[in-house]
Copies of this chain bind each other. A is one copy, B any other.
Amino acid sequence: MTEKPTREDRFSFGLWTVGWQAVDPFGAATRPPLDPVETVHRLAELGAWGVTFHDDDLIPFGSEDAERERHIKRFRRALAETGLVVPMATTNLFAHPVFRDGGLTSNDRAVRRFALRKVMRNLDLAAELGATTYVLWGGREGSETDASKNVPDALARYREGIDTLCQYIVNNGYDIRLALEPKPNEPRGDILLPTIGHALAFISQLEYHEMVGVNPEVGHEQMAGLNFVHGIGQALWQGKLFHIDLNGQRGPRFDQDLIFGHGDLLSAFFLVDLLEQGGYQGPRHFDYKPLRTESIEGVWESAAANMRSYLLLRERARAYRADPDVQEALRAARVDELATPTLAPGETAGELRVDRDAWEGFDPNGAAENGYGFVRLAQLALEHVVGAR
């Protein structure tokens, strides 16, 4: 029997996920709004550990201060009643028309300043609620025509914005790190920092680079046809996997935000395997949308399905790693040999240059005759995924 989700699994959901009313580019809402307080209670019942939010999810844009406080108070009470934590928060810099050319990189300087203030305001609340990660998804930072944006200027403003926010966090003594969320396109024709790679590269240029990491989303990388497991591998290697958004996608098309596992299932398996054995300790955050066809019952079923898919794949990943046949096949495929440095301890480039074993004594044609055994490994993995071993 598959285990049930527990707090230890660190499953979290955004208010905007189960709360999505199913407005899409071609259709009106199919579901009524969800009260964040109800969401907190339902998620807790289902076994979730955390809840996350955009400022405007919790407090409607433009609320007066008193109203704002009321919303926060109710939310805090629900957290206290359920024990749910707020591991992460974020800002909505995309829905209001004022952000139609972006927030931190809008051509309009006054919009950029307003956007920074909107983030700062919610950073205060995030700190108050104990969040330690603050996500920035720049969904409107981009263009539809290359004529409209000088990219080096845009990146300079982006850097200025992120560094300003870091300065603000440091000066306020908040225990918060930023996580940038890449996406290639939608809603803009092309979005700046389109992939994990571009975001990591950008971070290397920041003054406060050590405070900033990434929050990759399964579907966003797959919209560019990229291997998500490879991307997460690079983020982990660079010490920058601060948070993760789990969901499903069926390749390059609109952003589907399917339930985790309902897209590329083999990739989801290898992702869970990597997260579980690669040292990632952060939240398992589901950023998905319940299908527009569903009523509210389907919404809660979909929330549960995300966690159940993760747990099922975790069971299979553990069995895969524990299987002696797999261990033998990994050795045969020399997967472990890649952990051995190419140079001998202390060896220099110059020494390699004159090592006869590496060149004159190496027979490339002979070496090419050994197969790598990757088919066997891949099939063992598939059989573990389908529960056949």
Contact = CB atoms under 8 A, between A and B. Distances in A.
Interface stretch (A21-29, A43-51, A80-88): A21-29
Looking at A23, A368, A376, the one whose CB has the most chain B CB atoms below 10 A away is A368
Contact of A225 (B168, B184, B236, B267): B184
Contacts of A147: 270, 330, 333, 335, 374, 377-378, 380-381
Nearest to A156: B237
A307 B227 CA distance: 26
Contact of A164 (B139, B231, B343, B370): B343
Contact of A195 (B113, B155, B195, B369): B195
A229 B146 contact: yes
A234 B155 contact: yes
A73 B293 CA distance: 36
B372 A145 contact: no
A349 to B, nearest CB: 4
A149 interface: yes
B358 A114 contact: yes
Contacts of A125: none
Contacts of A110: 358, 362, 367
A60 interface: no
Interface stretch (A7-15, A34-42, A128-136, A201-209): A201-209
A105 B348 CA distance: 18
Looking at A26, A29, A147, A337, the one whose CB has the most chain B CB atoms below 10 A away is A147
Contacts of A234: 151, 155, 198, 201-202
Interface string A95-117: 11111110011111111111011
B225 A253 contact: yes
Nearest to A112: B342
A28 B151 contact: no
By Cβ-Cβ distance, the 8 closest A-B pairs, closest first, are A387-B387, A151-B233, A295-B371, A197-B198, A197-B197, A200-B201, A204-B204, A97-B368
17 contacts: A25-B186, A100-B292, A113-B358, A114-B358, A152-B237, A156-B339, A189-B227, A190-B227, A190-B250, A253-B253, A262-B382, A263-B266, A298-B371, A298-B374, A309-B382, A386-B386, A386-B387
Nearest to A222: B251
Contacts of A205: 237-238
A386 B385 CA distance: 6
A229 B278 CA distance: 35
A291 B253 contact: no
Given A152-B237, A358-B113, A386-B385, A230 B107 contact: no
A153 interface: yes
